[in-house]
Amino acid sequence: MRGFLASSIGVATAAALALPLALSTPALAAPSQGAATAAPVAPAGSTQSLPLGPLGPAADRSPGVPGMSTSPRLPETRGLAPREVKRFSLVGVVWDDASTELFGRVQVRTRAVATGTWSDWQDIETHNGEHAPDLGTRESGSGRVRGSTAPLWVGDSDGVEVRVQAEAGAPATRAGGARAGARLPSGMRIELVDPGASDPATVVDAKNGAGGAADEPERDDKGDVVALPGMTMETAESSSANVPLAGLGAKEITALNKADTTADAVAADGSLTAAARPYIGPRPRIVTRLGWGADESLRESGFVYTGTVKAAFVHHSASGNNYACKDAPAVLRSLYRYHVVSSGWRDLGYNFAVDKCGTVYEGRAGGVAKAVLGAHTMGFNTDSMGVAVLGTYTSTKPPAAAVKAVAQLTAWKLGLFNRDPRATTTLKSGGGNRFKKGTNVKLNVISGHRDGFATECPGKLLYAQLPPTRTTSAKLQGRP
């Protein structure tokens, strides 16, 4: 999340904005990747992926617009002319090679469905690999991973315009030392994400109709229920990872007081000795993936675990603050689709998400009590967990409810693995822009993303809340 160029890259003048926009024929949405064989009752999400072409002097550009000079010596500029598209709510820019960094400024403006009016130009933060699978992992080597910006939540929209301008004098790229200069990565595309319906849990079975054969639950050889009527195999797999914390098909995991959480530690690692751990904070209420409407057919099947959880990295999603708490599940569905379909990851990158009202959501599938390998802090995903507060907190103060929820979540999850939130720990770097691969790095048990990667995440105002969060988290664990 690099600082942006001081100059504008073509913010249109008032006169230009007043001109009518010639909208192209609506672009067709790209087919949903990995669509389930069972058709959802309500519409599933979708992703439109549109290539960005060169932007030069054109009849519809006002002369003298900053950053849009015709000089061939100026940085490369690419984009998309204003056009009508299928409805979407979140945007981001991706490119072919994940190891190529984008140095520059990305701007979009969108047309709201409700009013038909166009927004002002909005900046999209560039991530440059800071949220990504660790190098050398199966996930990073899948051949599907792309470079990507941060996503931006724009609300229900049906029109878009994009401008991207390279930054002159950019540093060497991670890929091989060649200076990026004033060039942009190849294969740049704008991704327009529709989050889809809020409740895809009820599905129509392709073979047996609604509810499956005789509406009977599916059982394994031992007679245990492994899928409920109408539940897809992928949904059953994800939901079962949270048993016994919640029943199969649960849309939330209920809160527990501190005295009742020792069984959670056993669920975390299967150890009987875990029940004797004294410092496990109260379990917060957690909305499951089924609860926020994850389309489980998108992600890669199965789960990947690490040995333990030694640290929690706090993030902001950098997707903007223009959402209501009731919209948080839709924001999360959009982030999930952007991470998997657009960025090429196996699942949502974060292990947990927290909205501005303090609701905690299950992130990457595999079980909220387990040590699930995420893709949140490049170089330090192993033996850690990632918590993203939905929003952007560089110049906006994070809500107290969200900060409190982070303390509650870390008190519980870190307690399951006997970690003191006020302590430090050592993680081995998997490679990144701050620490070389193999370097042992001393970090706070509750760290900000910027502690492991050179980035502005989680925003300076959220980062400033981490010291008191550590103290609160430890108190919730009952530590002296």
For residues 158 and 233, give the distance between their C-alpha atoms in angstroms, rounded to a whole number.
34
Question: Is the CB of residue 83 less than 8 Å from the CB of residue 161?
Answer: yes
* Bridge partners for 94 per DSSP: 148, 189
pLDDT tens digits, 142-201: 678 899 999 999 999 999 999 999 987 655 444 444 444 478 999 999 999 999 987 554
**Beta pairing class for 203-205 and 39-40:** antiparallel
Q: Exposed (0-12), middle (13-18) or buried (19+): which is 25, by Cβ within 10 Å? A: exposed
Q: Residue 295: which of 41, 123, 480, 21 has the closest Cα?
A: 41
For residues 470 and 464, give the distance between their C-alpha atoms in angstroms, rounded to a whole number.
11
Q: At 238, is the secondary structure helix, strand, or coil?
A: helix
How is residue 43 written in tokens? Answer: 């519409």
Which are the contacts of 194, defined by CB distance < 8 A and separation ≥ 6? Answer: 29, 45, 46, 47, 86, 87, 88, 89, 334
**Beta pairing class for 189-194 and 46-51:** antiparallel
Which are the contacts of 65, defined by CB distance < 8 A and separation ≥ 6? Answer: 8, 10, 11, 12, 13, 16
Q: Exposed (0-12), middle (13-18) or buried (19+): which is 441, by Cβ within 10 Å? A: middle
Give the Å distances, CA to CA, from 103 to 75, 106, 135, 164, 168.
11, 10, 21, 10, 8
Question: Is the CB of residue 309 less than 8 Å from the CB of residue 299?
Answer: no
Kindly list the structural domains of the chain, giving each domain's residue range(s) and its CATH number in brackets, ordered by start. 33-194 (no CATH), 203-238 (no CATH), 252-476 (3.40.80.10)
**Sequential pLDDT tens for the chain (480 residues):** 433 333 333 333 333 333 333 343 333 333 333 333 333 334 579 999 999 999 865 434 434 444 444 445 578 999 999 999 999 999 999 999 888 889 999 999 999 999 999 999 999 998 765 566 766 677 766 678 899 999 999 999 999 999 999 987 655 444 444 444 478 999 999 999 999 987 554 433 333 333 333 467 777 766 666 778 888 999 999 999 999 999 999 999 999 998 898 889 988 888 888 888 899 999 999 999 999 999 999 999 999 999 999 999 999 999 999 999 999 999 999 999 999 999 999 999 999 999 999 999 999 999 999 999 999 988 899 999 999 999 999 999 999 999 999 999 999 999 999 999 999 999 998 776 677 888 899 999 999 999 988 888 999 999 999 999 999 999 999 999
Q: What is the pTM of this model?
A: 0.83
For residues 143 and 128, give the distance between their C-alpha atoms in angstroms, rounded to a whole number.
18
For residues 352 and 242, give the distance between their C-alpha atoms in angstroms, rounded to a whole number.
14
458 preceded by a cis bond (ω within 30 of 0): yes
249 DSSP 8-state letter: T
